[in-house]
A and B are shown apart, each in its own frame.
Chain A
Amino acid sequence: MIQVFILLGAAAAMIVVDSLSRKVGIREGGGIFASMALFSTLILLWVEASKPPQVTTYRVFGSESPLTASLKLDPLSLYLSMIFCGIGLAASIYSIRYMELERETGLDRYYLLLLTLVAGMIGVTLANDFFTLYVFWELMAISSYSLVSFRKWSWEAVEAGFKYLLMSSIGSLMALLGIALLYGLTGSLGFDVLKAALASGRSPAAHLSLALIMIGFGVTAAIVPFHSWLPDAHPAAPTPISAVLSGVVIKTGVYAMLWSLFKVFTPQVYGFGWIIMGLGALTMTFANITAIMQSDIKRFLAYSSIANIGYIITGMGIAAHVAANYSGEFRIVALALAGSLLHILNHALGKGLSFLSAGCYIVRAGTREISSLGGIGLKMPATTTSLGIGLLNLAGIPPLSGFWSKLFIASAGLGILSDISLIAVTAVFILNSILAAGYYLWFLQRIVFKRGAGGYSSEINEAPASMLAPLIALAATSILITIMLNPVIDFIQSALGVLLG
């Protein structure tokens, strides 16, 4: 609750803090201040998470329920906001040196937007009614449009930013229209009131509103066919922002879909699991095939993000499908959702690591082409080790935690052997995982071993220490989660308790 307001307060103070610290000769004042705000938010979230799991709600304005706007704090929102805040913190520390090396200006606005972006993402997970969710959603969205077009001297950023703004704001408006329909149907927007009112019966208006909400949030989650902004927007942003956008911002779309599917529209009443499952299979297949053809390192990673969203969506779809059609199979629903939630964490860490390592190469070599980066890995061993851990985690190589999340989703899909559609989707999922593991390893091999590319000067050295620090922290977190998987799974189970009741 207070976590959002720390970030918003720090964002409001950013311009003053930055100009004051410049007056006394500290150029990095803004970045240090933003990192401190994100760090204290992370600590506060950690303190909340270490308490026994409970659900707390706060009223923001309006009269008593149902006519109210309110916030909640439960294990699911804590889990996601800690991921969001952690990746935001890593990007913020990384930005201090990166933005200096890239000679970017206007850094006070940059850190302000980074703080409002993270505040918006945390707010989305804390919202307890659709309108609060929409307000924080737009806070997040407007910050990310501005950050994508931050390097406005380059045509790529401006063009990608405009495309992103157009597609994403039409998507948000579709979601808002669906929300308005729900308000007209039930007279409230609180999630619990909506769930009770919508579970009693189906109506065409409720189905239309479900479709509009799924399309709206699906644009931000970059589900095929609403993905085409992502491969342009994510590479065009400054690299730390690419890590935040690709690692966590698209996850807010997944969260909003997950919450609407399970906490607003009951899966047993609205049978939609097979649509989500099919979209997930389409998304990962399309993105994996397209990713192989990319020659730009950041576009390659962006397409791999779409593929990973496909895995998460597939897990969600399997859960919704099983919940709708097989009422006794509660364990399979929980297993599929646990796999999706764990994969949200794994992908955030893995994609954060890969984008931040790619940023180190880009700064040192001055190019984004994979073919001219061949062999650079051996010259920057610490960066390459982090990149390797991130990519192996994404590829799902055992014993890293990326393996377990994919195993959960696959074994949930194979839980009911008589259902052809489940088996088919799981087969597509496993094939895609193998394909993805193949191209991650191929990519790593090219970065490390391919000699004589010559796209960079021969005497480049390791990235600066303050850029390596967040990389090593994220890599250590990946390994720590692999070792201590049980507490993480326990926490995910208490989050599932919120989701499934």
Chain B
Amino acid sequence: MGPHELYFTASLILIIIGIYAVMSKRHIVKIVIGLELLTLGVNLAIATTGLRIIDGVSHVDALAQSMVAISMAIGAAIAALALSLAINIYRHYGTFDVRKLRRLRW
């Protein structure tokens, strides 16, 4: 198994754990953690695509690295917004349980 397969497998595992957490967890902060794991998995996948192995020496693609840096910043902004919404949900409902906030019709 080369480094590419290894990193892609790791990112796939992170993505699956993230989607599982978002789908099945009841606690809002745990859902946000799942979203973060999903972001990490996708970032790892981008970084892996920038890895080039030429004659046994690994080179790094600078564009992929800068993409990961920008994507991490975007992910942080989304996490901050999600957590601030979690605080507001707690103020309205007095709970972090996502099952309690089904007042909207689906």
With a CB–CB cut-off of 8 A, which chain A residues contact B82? 162, 165-166, 169
Q: Which residue of A lies closest to B86 (CB)?
A: A162
Interface centre among B22, B45, B93 (most CB of A within 10 A): B45
Distance in Å from the Cβ of A484 to the closest Cβ of chain B?
41
Interface positions of A from 22 to 40, Cβ below 8 Å from B: none
Binding site for B on A (CB under 8 A): 61-62, 67-69, 131, 134-135, 138, 142, 145-146, 149, 152, 155-156, 158-163, 165-166, 169-170, 173, 176-177, 180-181, 183-184, 228, 231-232
With a CB–CB cut-off of 8 A, which chain A residues contact B42? 173, 176-177, 180
Flag if A67 contacts B63 (CB, 8 Å).
yes
Expressed in whole angstroms, the Cα–Cα distance for A176 and B35 within the complex equals 14
With a CB–CB cut-off of 8 A, which chain B residues contact A131? 67, 70
Size category of the B interface is: 35 or more
Distance in Å from the Cβ of B66 to the closest Cβ of chain A?
8
With a CB–CB cut-off of 8 A, which chain B residues contact A184? 48-49
Q: A170-B38, A173-B39 are in contact. Are A155 and B93 (CB under 8 A)?
A: yes
Is B78 in contact with chain A by the CB < 8 A criterion?
yes
With a CB–CB cut-off of 8 A, which chain A residues contact B63? 62, 67-69
With a CB–CB cut-off of 8 A, which chain B residues contact A134? 71
Q: Which of A145, A152, A163 contacts B88 (CB 8 A)?
A: A152
Q: Which residue of A lies closest to B88 (CB)?
A: A158
Q: Which residue of A lies closest to B67 (CB)?
A: A131
Distance in Å from the Cβ of B68 to the closest Cβ of chain A?
10
Flag if A170 contacts B35 (CB, 8 Å).
yes
With a CB–CB cut-off of 8 A, which chain A residues contact B101? 155, 159, 162
Q: A67-B63, A135-B74, A138-B74 are in contact. Are A180 and B45 (CB under 8 A)?
A: yes
Interface of chain B: mostly helix, strand, loop or mixed: helix
Which 4 pairs of residues, A with B, have the shortest CB-CB distance?
A: A184-B49, A180-B46, A155-B92, A158-B88
Q: Which residue of A lies closest to B50 (CB)?
A: A183
Flag if A176 contacts B49 (CB, 8 Å).
no
Flag if A158 contacts B89 (CB, 8 Å).
yes
Interface centre among A160, A165, A176, A231 (most CB of B within 10 A): A176
Interface positions of B from 9 to 45, Cβ below 8 Å from A: 15, 19, 22, 28, 31, 35, 38-39, 42, 45
Flag if B31 contacts A166 (CB, 8 Å).
yes
Expressed in whole angstroms, the Cα–Cα distance for A231 and B66 within the complex equals 36
Flag if A177 contacts B104 (CB, 8 Å).
no
Q: Which of B22, B61, B77 contacts A142 (CB 8 A)?
A: B77
Interface positions of B from 52 to 106, Cβ below 8 Å from A: 61-64, 66-67, 70-71, 74, 77-78, 81-82, 85-86, 88-89, 92-93, 101, 103-106
Q: Which of A159, A169, A173 contacts B103 (CB 8 A)?
A: A159
Expressed in whole angstroms, the Cα–Cα distance for A102 and B50 within the complex equals 51
Q: Which of A62, A69, A146, A173 contacts B38 (CB 8 A)?
A: A173
Flag if B104 contacts A163 (CB, 8 Å).
yes
Distance in Å from the Cβ of B74 to the closest Cβ of chain A?
5
Q: Which residue of A lies closest to B77 (CB)?
A: A142
A-B contacts, 9 of them at CB < 8 A, read: A142-B74, A152-B88, A158-B85, A158-B92, A159-B103, A166-B31, A169-B78, A170-B22, A173-B42
Q: A156-B104, A161-B85, A184-B49 are in contact. Are A142 and B78 (CB under 8 A)?
A: yes
Q: A162-B82, A181-B45, A183-B46 are in contact. List 20 more A-B contacts (CB 8 A).
A: A62-B66, A67-B61, A68-B63, A131-B70, A134-B71, A138-B74, A145-B81, A152-B88, A158-B89, A159-B103, A160-B104, A165-B81, A165-B85, A173-B39, A173-B42, A176-B46, A177-B45, A180-B46, A180-B49, A183-B49
